Each structure stands twice: as C-alpha cells, then as structure tokens.
Amino acid sequence: MKILITGANGFLGKKIKNSLNKNNIPVLTLGKSSTNDIQCDLAFEIPNLPAINMVIHAAGKAHTVPKTENEKRNFYEVNVKGTQNILSALGNLTQLKKFVFISSVAVYGLSEGKEIDEHAPLNAADPYGASKIEAERLITEWCKPRGIDYYILRLPLIVGDNPPGNLGSMIKAIQRGYYFSIGSAKVKKSMVLANDVAKLIPDLNNKSGIYNLTDGYHPTFDELERAISNACNKGTSFKIPLTFAHILAKIGDKIGNKSPINTDRLKKIQSELTFSDKKARLELGWNPEPVLNFYK
C-alpha cells in the first residue's frame, strides 16, 4: 500500500510517518516546504498526485485564539479549503481505498462535560472548531458515494516528546522552576499519546466512521503535573489558592495574551472535560497506553 501524508512535518505527522516507515510502508509526503516529496500549499493549490492507496490528512492550522480577521480567515483557508483541494486532487485516482483525517474534540464546542461520545452535537462556534466541522463534512460527503473507507479521528490534548501548545509551555515552566499549580487541580482532562495514534493508523481496516481517541484514563492536572515534575527531577510545583488565582485572572484579562492566566484559561483549568473512546475500542481494537506512563 502506498500512502500519502499531509502535515508530515507537524508534531503528530512526524510520529505517523515514523510509524509507517518502521513497518516498511511506502510513504509520500505533501506540504509547503521543499523537504516534502510533493511541494504544495493546500490552502491555495490543488496538487498533482501519483497513484496512491491511502491518504492521511494531518495538515491543518492548530488550535489558537485568532486576534484578527485575517487569522480567522486562515482557519478556513488551511483547514477547509485545504481539505477541499486534497479531495479535488484525489478525484480521478481509482486506486484510493482509505482516507484518514486528523480532527479534534474541539468540534463539540464544549468546555466541560464527562465521557462525551461521538453522538454529541457539534456546537463549535470558534474558527478552529468550526473549520474542523466543515472539513469532516466534506470528507464524509466525498468518501461515502465513492465507497472509500474514511476514518475521522477526533483527538484531545496530544502528548509526546516536545509537544507544542499549552502542554509544551507547561513542561518548559516545570523544567525552569516557575510553574505554579492552581487550587487542588483535581479535574480530569482527556489526553492521548501521539505514538498510540500513529500505531493505530496502519491497522485501520473496513470500519468507516468517526472516532474519539483518548487514553481512557483521563488524568487530573495534579497527576500530570506530578508525573512531569518527577520526569524532570523537579520538586512539587508551587500551588496558588483558587481565590488568589481569580484575582490574577482578572489582572490577566487586562494584560492580554502575555499573561499566563486569564478568566477564560482559569475556567478551563477548573472544568472537567473528558471524552469516551468506547466506540474506537469496540470497532477498531483501540487499546492505548495511559498518558502518565509516558513520563515514567
């Protein structure tokens, strides 16, 4: 099977590519940089593709809070138009059998909830979540009438070596000794190991659908903080009482994005948000490692 990966230079894309290479599966990469086998900016171009059997569409604009209209528009260009363009390029390839899309639990548009499954409504209104919803729709409507197996993988926080985003910032803060924990940090959050997602993809077979992927354990912030601190040979993080954190959050609202905390971030820290992966376990044989094992 010859496989095409978009976004192979990204955090998860690299893990997927390495997993396929270890299994001696031929891989082609597509992306904006010249390091790819096919150089193309999917947001604005329809690529010319050779014969391939499977596409792993991992390219996309990551979850950030847009500051300008141009940044909002960029979510549509990369996540929606990019998906349209890869589907257009695939239109005449009769050898294509599978399409895997890396989506996000952000499509649910929720800041709190427990064991949310794939039947939950898609209420995301932010540019990132809305763009993922539209990309999922395009893929489903394109694959179904063509009889192409499709796998839409909705992922929570992704854990692995040198992660980007908030987790990466948290690890750096712990390593440098200026990380602080808020309150009891006992709320649970869904997470998943990048390596487990990468290992699953080559085995996807004849079960088209949409799947949440988590580690099934959903560690608390306190458990994650302690695991990372132990891995970094650091002591227990400094804890800030919740009442004081609310004061800092209000100050952060006035400072802006440079502040490590604001009202919105504090609300997320205090809110439990977990997703059910029972469907993936039943239909795909999904059997991941607990995220906390990664830091042992």
The answer to the question of residue 39 being in a domain is: yes
The answer to the question of residue 103 being in a domain is: yes
Domain that holds residue 19: 3-161+192-215+276-283
pTM: 0.92
The answer to the question of residue 249 being in a domain is: no
Domain count, the chain: 1
The answer to the question of residue 228 being in a domain is: no
The answer to the question of residue 150 being in a domain is: yes
Q: Which tens digit of pLDDT belongs to each residue from 190-224?
A: 999 999 999 999 989 878 999 999 999 999 988 99
d(CA 25, CA 29): 13
Ranges of the chain whose pLDDT falls below 70: 66, 257-258, 260
CATH of the domain at 36: 3.40.50.720
Q: Quote the pLDDT of residue 258.
A: 67
d(CA 231, CA 251): 32
Q: Quote the pLDDT of residue 46.
A: 96
Distances (CA, A) of 41 to 47, 72, 101: 8, 18, 17
195: CB partners within 8 A, 6+ apart: 15, 19, 160
Q: Quote the pLDDT of residue 191.
A: 97
SS3 115: strand
The answer to the question of residue 241 being in a domain is: no
Report which of 169, 178, 158 is spatially closest to residue 288, judged by C-alpha positions: 158
The answer to the question of residue 289 being in a domain is: no
Q: Which tens digit of pLDDT belongs to each residue from 133-150?
A: 999 999 999 999 999 999
Q: Quote the pLDDT of residue 257.
A: 65
